[in-house]
Amino acid sequence: MRRKWVFIVPAAIIGMVLFTAIGGVIIQQLWNWLMPALFSLRTVTFWQAIGLLALSRILVGGFGLGSHRSYSRRRMAQRWERMTPEERERFREGMRGRCGFDPSAGESKGDVVS
């Protein structure tokens, strides 16, 4: 078991460094190709592109410390399984009302909009 870690840890470190370097080059090339022409922005260096990659990961992707979405889906699936058919229908109706799919909130189905 210990021998596996001898190979896995260096490979993981090399993979992260390689991913960061390739990502930085891709971000730099895309930025320098599109942004100056479209928005009259300045070009960025490789290290600025790495910073943009890190910033976008933080803002959009989170920190990667766990799969919050899959946890939420599992939890909702468990709750759904425990609901009675009446509770499920009440939940659906509540979601329809909140999300704007309730026909009584707007016009009825028979109304013609001109």
Q: What's the pLDDT tens digit per position in 52-65?
A: 999 988 888 766 55
* Predicted structure pTM score: 0.53
Give 59-108 pLDDT, tens digit per residue: 887 665 555 667 788 888 899 899 999 999 998 888 888 877 655 544 44
Residues 52, 46: Cα–Cα separation, whole Å: 10
Domain range list for the chain: 2-65, 69-103
What pLDDT score was predicted for residue 114?
47
Residues 84, 62: Cα–Cα separation, whole Å: 35
